[in-house]
């Protein structure tokens, strides 16, 4: 079963610290705004959606595994991994699929951050906009940060912190500019800290692209 496979996925050790750092930088209470481990379930997402809390969030950040359609047996569409239940049901199977996202109402969401692997992957529909990005866009999100391939846990955590350091200081800054400046800062860390030299490699920062109304700033161009 898919739920058994989900339980065997590697733990992403940096995701908790990443989300706590984002909460701190945005000035929100992690006790009421961060949902991890047993609180990170499909049922909780549905509850937050039905009460309007999810749709009222200006920034929605998800740090987890991202799955392509067919990557795990029984998964027919792109999905984000949540905490799987002991007994899976149709309403709580441990996945936030593209179909589930189409049920969300994100009327105030300016920016969705999908800090996960392959969240810009195609859904097999032939549409120019990929599955998860398209779903969040159709449900009201103005912009989505998604990844084009597998991402490094440590580098992604650092990039998200650097990006939100800039976004939280000047919240009128376009998301695309915050992302670009975060990428450049990540590369700068690699120059100054030899133990983090791999941060300069495009694999550490180039997977992420912004889809939607993010301000139109180009990514850094690096030439050896």
- pLDDT the model gives residue 3: 79
Residue 24 has pLDDT above 60, yes or no: yes
Cβ contact 107:56 at 8 Å: yes
How much is the CA Rg of the chain, to the nearest whole Å?
A: 17
- pLDDT the model gives residue 75: 86
CA distances for 87 relative to 3, 90, 93, 118, angstroms: 9, 10, 8, 27
Return the residue matching tokens 């990929």. Answer: 130
Cβ contact 29:74 at 8 Å: no
- pLDDT the model gives residue 205: 94
- pLDDT the model gives residue 11: 86
Return the residue matching tokens 């992403």. Answer: 12
- pLDDT the model gives residue 224: 39
Residue 183 has pLDDT above 90, yes or no: yes
Structure tokens at 67: 């799955």
**Residues 6 or more apart from 12 whose CB is under 8 A from it?**
63, 64, 65, 153
Overall average pLDDT of the 200-208 stretch: 93
- pLDDT the model gives residue 129: 56
Structure tokens at 40: 């990170």
Cβ contact 155:204 at 8 Å: yes
**Residues of the chain above pLDDT 70, percent:** 91
- pLDDT the model gives residue 216: 67
- What is the distance between the alpha carbons of residues 83 and 40, in angstroms, rounded to a whole number? 6
Which of 82, 86, 5, 87 shows the shortest CA–CA distance to 44? 82
- pLDDT the model gives residue 23: 94
Domain boundary assignment for the chain: 2-150
Note the pLDDT tens digit of each residue in 67-120.
988 888 888 889 999 999 989 888 899 999 999 999 999 999 999 999 999 888
What average pLDDT does the structure give for the chain?
Answer: 89
pTM: 0.90
How would you list the strands of the sheet with 143-147, edge to edge?
59-63, 111-115, 143-147, 208-212
- What is the distance between the alpha carbons of residues 58 and 108, in angstroms, rounded to a whole number? 6
Task: Quote the DSSP letter at residue 197.
Answer: G
- What is the distance between the alpha carbons of residues 66 and 62, in angstroms, rounded to a whole number? 10
- pLDDT the model gives residue 223: 39
Q: CB count, 10 Å around CB of 195?
A: 7
């Amino acid at each position: 079963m898919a739920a058994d496979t989900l339980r065997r996925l590697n733990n992403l050790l940096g995701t908790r610290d990443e989300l706590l750092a984002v909460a701190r930088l945005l000035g929100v209470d992690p006790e009421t705004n961060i949902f991890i481990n047993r609180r990170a379930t499909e049922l909780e997402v549905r509850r937050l959606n039905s009460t309007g809390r999810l749709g009222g969030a200006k920034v929605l950040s998800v740090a987890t595994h991202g799955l392509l359609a067919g990557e795990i047996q029984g998964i027919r569409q792109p999905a984000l991994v949540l905490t799987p239940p002991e007994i899976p049901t149709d309403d709580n199977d441990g996945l936030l699929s593209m179909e589930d996202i189409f049920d969300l109402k994100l009327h105030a969401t300016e920016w969705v951050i999908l800090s996960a692997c392959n969240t810009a992957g195609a859904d097999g529909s032939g549409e120019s906009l990929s599955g998860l990005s398209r779903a969040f866009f159709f449900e009201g999100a103005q912009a989505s940060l998604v990844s084009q391939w597998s991402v490094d846990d440590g580098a992604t955590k650092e990039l998200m912190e650097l990006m939100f350091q800039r976004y939280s200081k000047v919240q009128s800054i376009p998301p695309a500019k915050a992302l670009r400046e975060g990428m450049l800062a990540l590369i700068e860390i690699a120059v100054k800290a030899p133990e983090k030299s791999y941060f300069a490699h495009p694999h550490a920062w180039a997977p992420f692209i912004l889809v939607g109304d993010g301000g139109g700033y180009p990514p850094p161009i690096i030439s050896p």
